Amino acid sequence: IKIKIVDIPVPITIGPAFEGETIRKKDAYVEFGGGRSTSFELVRMCEADEVEDGKIQVIGPEIDEMPEGSVFPLGIMVDVYGRKMQEDFEGVLERRVHYFINYGEGLWHVAQRNMMWIRIGKNAHAAGFKIKDLGEILIAKYKSDYPAIIDRVQVTIITDQSVVEEKIKLAIEKYAARDARLKGLTDESVDTYYSCTLCQSFAPNHVCVVSPERVGLCGAVSWLDAKASNEITPTGPNQPIDKGECTDTVKGSWKNLNEFIYANSNRTVENVNFYTMMEDPMTSCGCFEAIMAILPMCNGIMITTREHSGDTPSGMTFSALAGTCGGGVQTPGFMGIGRRYLTSSKFIPADGGMARIVWMPKELKEYLGQDLIDAAEREGLGADFVNKIADETVGITEEEILPFLEEKQHPALKMDPMM
């Protein structure tokens, strides 16, 4: 990716060197989102007269009114106007919020949409960083990186609980509309998948391959987003890959995809099977929304999320699991995924698909809601399947959840052994 140096009027240094910087809780002056408070980020395409170029508005308390160590709600709304702008580009531009904010020394951003999580470090606060400065960074970066599609940008940053609650509704509607545009598109209906190598700045050998039925593991790059991104920046991180000859229809392996991945992973990854997590699964960088892990005793798999800090039946928390399978390596039996991949009809089909899911946090069940029930019905598991999946209220070890699975006659118990 080409990084342009632009002069941004903020009291901290901005540059890709700070991208990998983490800010621990004890070093945070204030934090937002990440399940601790309501948060969202939204990029919207607007009409010319709706956008006042360069305008930054903060609704709610500024950083001076936030005590050290506090948690506040946060909404970031980026309104853009451009003659060449398209609605399809919104999601692509929205993902850039993550990168632009992480460029700031003393700033940390993870996840996306209404899951996003930001920390402002004590060092940034001491340097005089203000909430408003988030807007300065975003405006400068959008205008310098996307001059061909963005003519005007304004940013509204909301730290007031009631206004965040009100505006998040709009954001959730937008996210749903974007996801709906993907419905009906299947892996078979297209010849071209897209690569995403945005995360190579963190994980140099990592290549995501995004297909219509498999969102990028960060949850922020769908096939349509990758396609739009390629239209905006043809030489950028999202390249079309003509799948070519299918060498394994069950496990999901394609000649051209593998050649692309090998060439773009510094020649470290030779084969990726799209439809299984047990043999040559896709690599995981570090920004997966969720991680799947095999549970041998239950003959199934569990999933835990970044938001779930508790123990899981794999014997590991999310962060311990992230240490096992992150960094751009293939770890059979473990895989980072986007939350929405769970409801895909291409969810590890070679391993038995959705019927393998035996445990997930309650919050994830609620988050997926009706989509999970619909997916279970589509897979012939019945709407009741969701009630057969254990969660932390049932137990957090394999021994604790097995009797529950037996009592509910969970289908995984009757399937072929996973390994």
Q: Which stretches of the chain bind ligand SF4, using CB under 6 A?
A: 196, 198-199, 208, 210, 216-218, 220-221, 285, 287
Judged by CB under 5 A, the stretch of 112-120, 268-276, 281-289, 337-345 that binds Zn ion is: 281-289
Structure tokens of 179? 């996801």
- The residue with its CB nearest to ligand SF4 is 216
Least separation in angstroms between residue 237's CB and Zn ion is 11
- Residue identified by tokens 């999601």 is 91
Give the one entry of ligand SF4, Zn ion, none that residue 405 binds, where binding means its C-beta sits below a cut-off of 5 to 8 angstroms depending on kind.
none
Q: What are phi and psi of 200, to 5 degrees?
A: -65, -15
Minimum gap (Å) between residue 327 Cβ and ligand SF4: 12
Minimal distance, residue 221 CB to ligand SF4, in Å: 4
Partner that binds at residue 216, options ligand SF4, Zn ion, none, CB closer than 5 to 8 Å by kind? ligand SF4
348 binds, among Zn ion, ligand SF4, none (CB under 5 to 8 A by kind): none
Q: Does residue 295 belong to the site contacting Zn ion (CB under 5 A)?
A: no
Nearer to Zn ion, 12 or 196 (CB): 196
Closest CB 220 distance from ligand SF4, rounded Å:
6
Contact 277, 335 (CB under 8 A): yes
- Residue 261: CB minimum distance to ligand SF4, A: 12
Contacts of 5 (CB under 8 A, 6+ apart): none
Binding-residue total with Zn ion (CB under 5 A): 3
Phi-psi category of residue 391: left, alpha or beta, with phi > 0 → left and psi -120 to 50 → alpha: beta
The tokens of 119 are what?
Answer: 């920390």
Query: Which of residues 168 and 209 has its CB atom nearest to ligand SF4 in the complex?
Result: 209
Choices 168-176, 280-288, 353-361, 396-404 (CB under 5 A): range interacting with Zn ion: 280-288
**CB nearer ligand SF4, residue 196 or residue 358:** 196
The phi and psi torsions of 406 (rounded to 5 degrees) equal -65, -45
Which one, 274 or 404, has the nearer CB to Zn ion?
274
CB 56 within 8 A of CB 155: yes
Least separation in angstroms between CB 139 and ligand SF4: 22
Q: Minimum CB separation from Zn ion for residue 232, in Å?
A: 20
Q: Which is nearer to Zn ion, 157 or 199 (CB)?
A: 199
As measured in angstroms, the least distance from the Cβ of 373 to Zn ion is 30
Told to check if 285 binds Zn ion by CB under 5 A, we report yes
- By the 8 A CB rule, do 17 and 51 touch? no
In the bound state with ligand SF4, the residue whose beta carbon lies nearer, of 133 and 280, is 280
Q: Which is nearer to Zn ion, 139 or 220 (CB)?
A: 220
**Using CB under 5 A, which residues numbered 178 to 237 contact Zn ion?**
199
Q: With binding defined as CB under 5 A, does residue 287 bind Zn ion?
A: yes
Token reading at 364: 């994830």
Minimum separation from the CB atom of position 394 to ligand SF4 (A): 31
- CB nearer to Zn ion: give 327 or 395: 327
Q: Are 59 and 160 in contact (CB under 8 A)?
A: yes
Token duo for residue 81:
């106007």
Which are the contacts of 362, defined by CB distance < 8 A and separation ≥ 6?
Answer: 391, 392, 393
For residue 196, the partner it binds in Zn ion, ligand SF4, none, with Cβ less than 5 to 8 A by kind, is ligand SF4
Q: Which of ligand SF4, Zn ion, none does 10 bind, CB closer than 5 to 8 A by kind?
A: none
Q: Give 272 or 412: the residue with its C-beta nearer to ligand SF4.
A: 272
Closest distance of CB 217 from ligand SF4, Å = 5
Q: Which does 198 bind (CB under 5 to 8 A by kind): Zn ion, ligand SF4, none?
A: ligand SF4
**Would you tell me how many other CB atoms lie within 10 Å of the CB of residue 417?**
6
- Report yes or no: 228 and 220 within 8 Å, Cβ to Cβ: no
Q: Could you say which of ligand SF4, Zn ion, none residue 208 binds, taking C-beta under 5 to 8 angstroms by partner kind? A: ligand SF4
Q: Give 35 or 327: the residue with its C-beta nearer to Zn ion.
A: 327
Q: Which residues pair with 209 in a beta bridge?
A: 195
SS3 of 399-414: the string is HHHHHHHHHCCCHHHH
Backbone angles phi, psi at 153, to 5 degrees: -135, 140
Residues making contact with Zn ion (CB under 5 A): 199, 285, 287
